[in-house]
Amino acid sequence: MPEKPIQGEKKVFVTGNEVVAWAALAAEAEIMYGYPITPQNEIMHYWTRTIPKFGRRFLQTEDELSAGFTTVGGVLAGRRAFTATAGPGNILMQEPLSMAEAMRVPIVAVVEQRGGPSTATVIYSQQEVTLTTLGGNGEGLRVVYSTATHQDLFDYTIKAFNTAWKYRFPTFVLADGYQAKMRESVVFYDPAERGIKMVPTEAYVGRPGMPGVDRPPMHMRNTYNMEEELYEVLQEYLADYAKAAPEIEEHEAFDTADADLVVISHGVVSRACKMAVQELRQQGYKVGYFRPITLRPMPEKALREVAATAKQFLVVESAQGQLARLLKEAMYGGTAEMLTLFKPGVGVTSEEVVARVKEIKG
Amino acid sequence: MTVQSAMPKCWNEETKPHKFCPGCGHGLVLKALGQAIDELGIQDKVVFGCDIGCSLLSWDFFNVDTIQTHHGRTNPVITGMKRANADIIGVAYMGDGGGYAIGSQHLVSAATRNERITSIVVNNTQYGMTGGQMAPTTMPGQKTETTPYGRDPETTGSPTQGPEMVAAIAPEGAYVARGSVANVRQLKGYIKKALENQMAGNGFSFVEALSLCPTNWRTNAKDTWKFLEEDMYKYFKVGELKVPGSQEKEGQ
Amino acid sequence: MGKAVKIVLAGEGGQGVQSVAEILAEAANEKGREALYIPNFGVEQRGGVSVAFLQIGDEPIGAPKFQIGDIVIALSDRAVSRTRQYVGPDTVFVYDSGIEDIQDELPTNTNKIYAIPAIEVSKNELHPRVFNVIIMGAVIKATGVVAMEDAKNAIEIKLGSKFEKDPKLREMNFKAMERGAELVAGLA
């Protein structure tokens, strides 16, 4: 058996793309399928350089449709399989993702948001929130983790495989171009040494025995004749999702209990917001910090608790309200005023957040 | 009452009679495939992927693990499976729209990469499930719902020569043939060779099956066979186009 | 424990500003400090101004980019124009004195402006290839973000195999770093 990619713990100083590749190795991912698109390319580069030593596999496909569908195929064959994409590639990825939702195929996709619409910039944005949480022609039966730091990238890439295989919903790690390309320190570890057990995988097709004799054949479909047939299947899926959601939901918050205004953000923007809230607190402002880590499912209960006491929310994102829309849905009926700092396709600095809060609070 | 010829052993009796329209060619292609699977004794190894289009109706056709995919995406799903588990014998089954239009990039890439899968394209010269629109394989002058005055090659191009294209781009080791439901015995032979070629690990194995669609062709039994054996045969030549180890048969 | 030091380095492609930022970040990381380095990696990567954003501190770094740098270094005329936006009242702005006709472009609202002859020194005293190492020496002297020795160790890690083959290269790199520091020291 090949040696473990990571033994013990080690602090390293690397790019986010390298983090994802190592996390997938540590999570015992067996095969990656991918198509080149900036800024995710280096995930494939690190993966292909490292895998011969660890007996893992890679296939470069002809486009993201194929990358997604081959990943589906890999999972159906019982492998811990993943892909990575961004921007226009994420648009194409929604087609295979909808099949994965329809057939409960636990694929993992890492998305590194770039500017949009269209080809836009290869650099950075948070404009793939709507697409990643609710893309496809269905009900958004997927899990989306939004990462803020390299440590998040490592932790949640590993976790994504377990969430996917435990609940059998496709799972996204939603990062961005800054995280892909920047370097900062991160601690790599072997999940087993931290007591993280990888959820075992299971083949959907090609199991032992003669189909129709020793076992029923596996007949998987995503087309239904009758609307009632589809409805029945969806009711089951939606019930499963609703049951799993409270177990999956994650958030990070501080200083919300006595806050008049709570700053809400996700992903890399939450780093700026965290600094801004800390600074404003020191200056005597009654502000709090809230960051949904799962954007799908949204941590609704935690949000509503904050909404019960805060008078104002400031939603900060590198998009024109894609997070805000999800928050409005989650907090419908709440009375807190929702204020915004939207910078579509552009990074947000802590100075800007501080300035916006001071503008609001006078 | 006439007794039908024995079903292939790997057919799923519970779903017979099948759901295809009367006179449809799919049943004959799937019979040839079933016989080939039986003769090779690989029922427990085959994973059958069907496309969207009329082929989707075959999702429970066999007592074989089956996955219904998206329109045009059967080749990548089966490719992904095969790459992840080489013990699987992967069969990607689709119509001409799935193979040559919406999924053409996948067919081209599977062929050039010499994916160790067997891909079967059923050519009935139009889109059956959606009601008979022009397909890449529609014959010059043929009337369809989107070429009501007959296909004009000047504005809509000429029928796709699938096996010829695959034979031209696939590396050595690939197997390429075109059969017809008018000769199920020969078609079964081609499909069997295509499966054997995959099992030997030689390369991409591709069979186009010329088929029938009396429903959308609006033909009676006589004219249905006439269209296949006279009109289609003129344009689509039956035979093997590429056989591993015999370079001279490459192309046409 | 103060706030992180924020550094912007900008130059033409090939001037090696990204390597400088990376080595400084690695030197800080090696010493157990927090560092975050992000290159400007847009289409500008090909034929445009290359910008590196670097932050070094004692606590986890916040947003990867920032509005105002503590020190902003511009090594070409285009880089000067490109980085004016990162200059504030407390910023130390450093540019190469060899850049011609730049007076009108220089920021006016800064704390200090240093013009250093790094290009000239690299050409006349050392070698054009260590131009960026001179800049690194200047940044270290001006900010104190890492110790000179730690930066030398980081260079050693990065270029050690080349130094083994040609020890003179090591000497030249270290000399370049010292000279860079001197260029700033003379102005302070």
Kindly report, residue by residue over A335-356, the tens digit of the pLDDT: 999 999 999 999 999 999 999 9
DSSP B171-219: PTT-EEEEEEGGGHHHHHHHHHHHHHHHHTT---EEEEEE---HHHHT-
Q: Average pLDDT of B66-71?
A: 98
Handedness of CA B99, B100, B103, B108 (dihedral sign): positive
User: Which CATH number is correct for A9-194, 3.30.420.40, 3.40.50.1100, 3.50.50.60, 3.40.50.970?
Assistant: 3.40.50.970
Q: Are A34 and A17 in contact (CB under 8 A)?
A: no
CB–CB contact C36 A182 (8 Å): yes
Share of chain B above pLDDT 90, in %: 94
List the CATH number of the domain containing B94.
3.40.50.970
CB–CB contact A184 C68 (8 Å): no
Q: Give the per-residue pLDDT at A22.
A: 98
> Among A11, A149, A185, A187, which would you mutate to test the C interface (most chain C Cβ atoms within 10 Å of its Cβ)?
A185
Nearest residue of chain A to residue B68 (CA atoms): A221
Chain A contact present for C35, CB below 8 A: yes
Q: What angle do CA A78, A81, A85 make, to 5 degrees?
A: 155
CB–CB contact B80 A59 (8 Å): yes
Nearest residue of chain A to residue B87 (CA atoms): A206
Share of chain A above pLDDT 90, in %: 98
Select from C45, C50, C94 the least CA-distant residue to C71. C94
Select from A178, A189, A191, A187 the least CA-distant residue to A15. A178
Q: Average pLDDT of A52-61?
A: 96
What is the rounded CA–CA span in Å between residue A357 and residue A360? 5
Q: Average pLDDT of C19-34?
A: 94
CB–CB contact C36 A181 (8 Å): no
Size of interface A-B (CB pairs under 8 A): 139
Size of interface A-C (CB pairs under 8 A): 65
pLDDT-derived band at B5 (thresholds 50, 70, 90) equals low
Residue C177 has pLDDT above 50, yes or no: yes
Which among C26, C34, C38 is the nearest to A181, CB-wise? C38
A14–chain C nearest CA distance, Å: 9
Provide the residue count of chain C. 188
Q: What angle do CA B208, B213, B218 make, to 5 degrees?
A: 150
Q: What is the pLDDT of residues A87-97, one digit of tens each?
A: 999 999 999 99
Q: Are B212 and B228 in contact (CB under 8 A)?
A: yes
CA distance readout (Å), A228 to A102, A138, B56, B59: 15, 16, 19, 19
Residue B10 has pLDDT above 90, yes or no: yes
Residue B48 has pLDDT above 90, yes or no: yes
User: Helices B74-84 and B104-112, interaxial angle, to 10°?
Assistant: 30
Domains A9-194 and A251-361 share a fold: yes
Q: Give the per-residue pLDDT at C159.
A: 87
Which among C25, C43, C66 is the nearest to A183, CB-wise? C25
Q: For chains B and C, tell me whether 3 or more CB atom pairs sit within 8 A of each other.
A: no
CB–CB contact B105 A78 (8 Å): no
CATH 3.30.420.40 fits A251-361, yes or no: no
Q: What is the pLDDT of residues A105-148, one digit of tens each?
A: 999 999 999 999 999 999 999 999 999 999 999 999 999 999 99
Chain C contact present for A119, CB below 8 A: no
Which among B59, B88, B105 is the nearest to A221, CB-wise? B59
Q: Give the per-residue pLDDT at C2.
A: 59
CA distance readout (Å), C15 to C81, C98, C128: 17, 14, 9
Measured between beta carbons, the chain A residues lying within 8 angstroms of C22 are 183
pLDDT-derived band at B67 (thresholds 50, 70, 90) equals very high
Residue B2 CB contacts under 8 Å (≥ 6 apart), including other chains: none
pLDDT-derived band at C185 (thresholds 50, 70, 90) equals confident
Q: In this predicted complex, what is the ipTM?
A: 0.94
pLDDT-derived band at A362 (thresholds 50, 70, 90) equals confident
Nearest residue of chain A to residue B12 (CA atoms): A212
CB–CB contact A275 C62 (8 Å): yes
Q: Is residue B12 part of a domain?
A: no
Measured between beta carbons, the chain C residues lying within 8 angstroms of A13 are 25-26, 29, 35
Q: Are C132 and C19 in contact (CB under 8 A)?
A: yes
DSSP strand pairing (B133-134 vs B126-127): antiparallel
Instruction: State chain B's mean pLDDT as an integer.
Output: 95
Residue B71 has pLDDT above 70, yes or no: yes
Q: What is the pLDDT of residues A298-347, one digit of tens each?
A: 999 999 999 999 999 999 999 999 999 999 999 999 899 999 999 999 99
Chain C contact present for A291, CB below 8 A: no
The residues of A whose Cβ lies within 8 A of any Cβ of B are 30-31, 33, 57, 59, 61-63, 65-66, 69-79, 81, 95-96, 99, 103, 203-213, 217-223
Which residue segment(s) compose the domain that B181 sits in?
18-247
Number of domain units in chain B: 1
Q: Does residue A237 sit in helix, strand or coil?
A: helix
Q: Give all domains of chain C, ordered by start, each with its CATH number.
A: 5-185 (3.40.920.10)
What is the rounded CA–CA span in Å between residue C86 and residue B20? 69
Q: Is residue B227 part of a domain?
A: yes
Q: Give the per-residue pLDDT at C45.
A: 53
Q: Does residue A219 sit in helix, strand or coil?
A: strand
Candidate from A194-208, B196-210, C111-125 with smallest mean pLDDT: C111-125
Measured between beta carbons, the chain A residues lying within 8 angstroms of B106 are 62, 65-66
Chain A contact present for B82, CB below 8 A: yes
> C touches which chains (3+ CB pairs under 8 A)?
A
Chain C contact present for A122, CB below 8 A: yes
Q: Are A128 and A295 in contact (CB under 8 A)?
A: no
Chain A contact present for C70, CB below 8 A: no
Q: Are C23 and C87 in contact (CB under 8 A)?
A: no
Chain C contact present for A272, CB below 8 A: yes
Q: Does residue A323 sit in helix, strand or coil?
A: helix
Share of chain C above pLDDT 70, in %: 95
Rounded to a whole number of angstroms, the distance between the first and last alpha carbons of chain C is: 24
- β strands within A47-113, DSSP E: 57-60, 81-85, 108-113
Chain C contact present for A231, CB below 8 A: no
pLDDT-derived band at C42 (thresholds 50, 70, 90) equals low
Q: Give the per-residue pLDDT at B6.
A: 83
Residue C86 CB contacts under 8 Å (≥ 6 apart), including other chains: C8, C66, C67, C68, C69, C72
